[in-house]
Amino acid sequence: MTRALITGGAGFIGGHLSEVLLDKGYEVTIIDDLSTGRFENVEHLTGNPHFHFAIETIANTAVMDRLVSECDIIFHLAAAVGVDLIVSKPIHVIETNIGGSEIVLQTARRYRRKVMLASTSEVYGKSNSAPFAEDDDSVLGPTIKNRWSYAATKAVDEFLALAYHKEIELPVVIFRLFNTVGVRQSGRYGMVIPRFVQAALKDEPIRVFGDGKQTRCFGNVSDSVRAIIALSECDEAVGQVFNVGTQEEVTILELAERVKTRAGSGSEIMLVPYNEAYEEGFEDMRRRIPDTSKIQRMVGWKAEKTLDQTLDEVIAYFRKRIV
């Protein structure tokens, strides 16, 4: 039985990954300090004898040493995420993302464990070369705009993981997630779809930041988890970076309209300037679409669920929780 350790395992993606790995016959242990994760994401798994959890930070090196020594593969998902958190707590974001990954890789090196490292489409920054391929240049904003600190920390994580692979042949695989969404995702840190859906179901204003013409591709978490597991089981993927996302592109304004329509909502759609939503001088990417040809060639993966299917799932999920 393969033993998996998931850092950040009580997060939105970690909970879904835990479910699928358990269904596939894995022994699953998660570690999460619940700073952004929620125990309710995995509470339904606690009766499974093959599921274990530690409510602790990955900065606790003694706990990490024990957990890594007892696993076969690490899915490193723990990170400080969400634009609200990036803007309001930049020290926490930088220290958590870089320091946490350093501890995971150091401990993995000690026991020679495979590491699946979660990265992000944010590393492409302000590049205009969409759709983004894994070997495209990154174009980040200036250091005086802390909005780019998250992208920089994840880029450092990638550099560090690839250095461990190059120098000591530690088996690592990096997957860059493009706006993964689905049921159980919280809007607490600015995640756009749960924020829009909750507003729509309450007939409250749906707040669209900027001019709403920026585009994104929203991939269903079930597709993302399929990709992560397929890459983890592919020996040829070691030492490489892969985009994971859908190519169904939508403007944020159109997204708000679709949420409103599918939820049968009477909400007003409001445009909110970035400097009111976040901070003065906030910058955003205009277009973010992945080139997924590499992962398709490597493991035959491609996204299956449409955005409308995902929106319907999320709307149904929140409709049960909003009375």
**Active-site residue numbers?**
150
The Cα diameter of the chain in Å comes to: 58
Q: Which residues on neighbouring strands pair with residue 290, listed in sequence order?
A: 132
Is the preceding omega at residue 131 within 30 degrees of 0, hence cis? Answer: yes
Cα 170 from chain centroid?
Answer: 23
8-state DSSP, 289: -
Spatial separation of the C-alpha atoms in residues 69 and 110, rounded to whole Å: 8
d(C-alpha 281, C-alpha 250), whole Å: 24
Structure tokens at 63: 């706990």
Q: Which residues contact 261 (CB under 8 A, 6 or more apart)?
A: none
